[in-house]
Amino acid sequence: MGLTGQSTGLAIMRRIAIAQVKVQSSGDIIVALAGNPNTGKSTVFNSLTGLKQHTGNWPGKTVTNACGRYGYDGKNFILVDLPGTYSLMANSPEEEVARDFICFGNPHVTVVVVDATCMERNLNLVFQIIEMTPKVVVCVNLMDEAHRKGIQVDTKRLSDILGVPVVGISALKRQGLDLLKQSVWEVACGGLSVNPIKIEYDEAIEDAVGIVEPQISRLIDNLSCSISSRWLALRLLEGDQAIVEAFKRYLGIDIFGWVELKERLQKARDMLVERGITIDQLGDRLVSSLFRNAEEISRQVVHHKKGATNSIDSKIDDLLTSRAWGIPAMLALLGLMFWITIQGANYPSHILSKAFFYLEEELAELFMASGMPQWLYGILIDGVYRTLSWVVSVMLPPMAIFFPLFTLLEDLGYLPRVAFNLDNFFKRACAHGKQALTMCMGFGCNAAGVVSCRIIDSPRERLIAIITNNYVPCNGRFPTLIALATIFMAVGTGWFQTVVATFAVMAMITLAVVVTLLTSKILSRTVLKGLPSSFVLELPPYRKPQVCKILIRSLMDRTLSVLARAVTVAAPAGLVIWVMANVNVAGNSLLNHFAGFLDPFARMLGLDGYILMAFILGLPANEIVIPIVLMSYVSAGTLMDLDSLEALHQILVQHGWTWLTALCTMLFSLNHFPCGTTLLTICKETGSWKWTLISFMVPTITGIVLCFVVAQTARLLGLV
């Protein structure tokens, strides 16, 4: 299919692996950071390195490797944050990247981060890594949360059982980090001896390993890698072709080129079949043994205080994830967010507009006093300045309110509950349940949503998620939806204006989800046929939000970054629009020529030529569509100061807008081609211009059809 999300991750892996050789020569110590999703691994990484990699309370945050440095005892440590994964059986790109780095990146130490509140589930990965390499430190994170829930983890007992250092920490509170650094250093330098536990399997499996392992040991002794011969024997017995390909890729060796090894492997498999174990059954038996050991050890090291339960979390989940109340609760929470955003954005928007209008008057006097030409005034003030004024005064307040609220839900751990509630709908659409998570990422940025599709293992389902991610409104489209819903959908409703506007925006969001599901099903029945694959979605515990970090992260990472991108694109767009409006050809401006050419087609969609032109010119960023529309109207002859949303309403109504125009503009904003950044991201993730073009065409055709049907139906019924 041309999809290269997996090869992209492996390419990063190869670049980092090559870098290891360089850094090791300078005496740096390489530390791999592994762990299940949602164990606080990224928080541990941030606490040690200070790189402030984005963390979130939901699975699947890390899909590529991140590197950082920290110092301890005069030594320099390079920390490599591997993708979060539940296993290293290489059933997904994330598992393959993590496994290959541990095998071929030659880290001095591998730190495995586990969740103190979910020890039994996390030990499965610990066992797999211990089988691969003895240089392991187990980092039991979230000890404070475990204490709050009445859970006690005996780290000393766990260390004695596993035969490797075990350190209990609370990364968020930076507790236990020094002891973790010390343990990593002692294992790396050999100052602390390790004697990892040996997982015992069925007698038949142990006999089969005994046949193959001696030959593998001789092979590994001649190689520059630290792979365990026992672990490799188990993988080859399972028929793991990925590890064979990895040997070719990283070491240039064909394992099966060793005739004696190939013969021994066949002998071991024949022996297993004779004793009633097929290759397909072997994997299940290995996993069952790991889980049995995890359950047994967990009983020995994890203790629950009497009367301490997790009843509060359970009661909340009974409501938020129930069949009857899950969806209504989700809509109510999102509706509350939009209501707060709409209600709270009016006042700061009005203040900013007044400030920009005052500054414009000062700039006008400055221009008049300096004797600058009128055309320069037009470009800088009527063109660039007025467009930027709109972007800042109208877009900044709702973003500054909405994004902290959205980040709050993420930090609380609610977003995985949204995915849980929508999982069944995606399965019915023959799509992957994880698409609900990537869709949630799209609310922040569609480009980020496309990248997050790497967490979907199936190439077919990953493509469906990529193609449909743009249906979800991103940061740049929310201000447009909120503004138009407020001044058109809720006009004349008096005190209920905010409530009506909230319902209008919620209706758009619901429609976006429905269109995503329908399109996913159509794609899965046509160009991307197939059945949905299953997956396990982990619901993280609810956690106390970090209010200060939420405000800083939402302001810096989302609000200001989106605003900066909008301003960067809006300034030249305002200049282009002003030039087009003031350069005449055949007695008419270029702006009018362009809009006039598009107008007949746009009218069929309930729009006009200027609106459709704005969507086309707004390809670099969705944030500037309405500013371009406004600038086009203003440059066409109407000049009005934007001191409120009501002023915007007057400008639009004077240029022929009705409720139908606003509705079709909102619909087309939801359903049209991705922005330039998202298109480039799609091309990079799929490695194909074909799928990029399809990702461009599918939502655009959806928007054209939807707007045409709505516009023509409204006119046929005489509603406008």
Nearest CA among 125, 242, 688 for reference residue 462: 688
Q: Are strands 584-585 and 166-168 parallel, antiparallel or unpaired?
A: unpaired
Burial of 643 (0-12, 13-18, 19+ CB in 10 A): middle
pLDDT (average), residues 694-716: 95
CATH superfamily of 5-189: P-loop containing nucleotide triphosphate hydrolases (3.40.50.300)
Could you give the C-alpha distances from 713 to 54, 708, 717, in angstroms and in order? 46, 8, 6
Percent of the chain with pLDDT over 70: 85
Tell whether the model's pLDDT for residue 433 goes beyond 90: no
pTM for the full predicted model: 0.65
Mean pLDDT lowest for which of 174-183, 212-221, 259-268, 644-653? 644-653
Residue indicated by tokens 């009497």: 306
For 429, the token pair is 């659409």
Lowest mean pLDDT among 106-115, 309-318, 509-518: 309-318
pLDDT classification of 9: cutoffs 50, 70, 90: very low
Q: Where are the domains of the chain?
A: 5-189, 203-276, 326-528+545-716
Length of the chain: 720
The CA distance from 345 to 351, in Å, is 10
Cβ atoms 700, 519 nearer than 8 A: no
pLDDT at 386: 72
| DSSP secondary structure code for residue 588 in this structure | E
pLDDT range class, residue 533, cuts 50, 70, 90: low
Return the pLDDT at 642: 54
What are 692's two structure tokens? 């990029």
β-strand partners of 112:
34, 138
| 297-307 per-position pLDDT tens digit | 999 999 887 65
- In tens, the pLDDT along 453-502 reads 877 767 888 899 999 999 988 867 877 888 888 889 887 777 778 888 88
CB atoms within 10 A of CB 305: 11
Kindly state the average pLDDT of the residues 354-363.
82
Of residues 424 and 4, the one with the higher pLDDT is 424
The pLDDT value given to residue 4: 40
Residue 590: CB atoms within 10 Å = 16
Place of tokens 């009367």: 307
pLDDT of 347: 77
d(CA 109, CA 79): 10
On whether the CB atoms of residues 386 and 470 are closer than 8 A, the answer is: no
Q: How does strand 302-304 pair with strand 75-81? A: unpaired
Residue 442: CB atoms within 10 A of its CB come to 27
Helix/strand/coil for 112: strand
- DSSP H stretches of helix in 56-109: 93-104
Q: For position 164, what pLDDT does the model report?
A: 94
Comparison of pLDDT for 359 and 305, the residue scoring more: 359
Tell me the pLDDT tens digit for each residue of 109-134. Answer: 999 999 998 888 889 899 999 999 99
User: Using CA atoms, how far apart are residues 235 and 243, in angstroms rounded to an integer?
Assistant: 8
Helices (H), 321-384: 326-370, 374-377
pLDDT computed for residue 5 by the predictor: 39
Average pLDDT over residues 21-47: 77
Q: How many helices (H) and strands (E) does the chain have?
A: 32, 10
From 509, 551, 563, select the one nearest 399 (Cα to Cα).
563
Residue 372 has pLDDT above 50, yes or no: yes
Confidence of residue 641 (pLDDT cuts 50, 70, 90): very low
Residue that is written with structure tokens 């969507």 in the block: 615
**pLDDT confidence bin for 10, thresholds 50/70/90:** very low
Is 90 exceeded by the pLDDT of residue 686?
Answer: no
At 597 the pLDDT is 94
Whether 537 shows a pLDDT value over 80: the answer reads no
More confident residue, 187 or 312: 187
Mean pLDDT of 378-396: 73
The pLDDT score that the predictor gives to residue 221 is 74
- Residue 531 has a pLDDT of 66
Residue 4 is given by DSSP the state -
Strand partners, 77: 29, 70
Using alpha carbons, select from 38, 39, 45, 91 the residue that is nearest to residue 65. Answer: 45
* pLDDT tens-digit series, residues 54-83: 444 444 444 455 788 899 988 899 998 888
> Which residues pair with residue 398 across a beta bridge?
none
- Express each pLDDT in 573-600 by its tens digit: 767 777 777 788 887 888 889 989 999 9
Is 309 in contact with 150 (CB distance < 8 Å)?
yes
Q: What is the pLDDT of residue 262?
A: 85
For residue 639, pLDDT over 70 is answered with no
Block residue for tokens 């023959």: 430
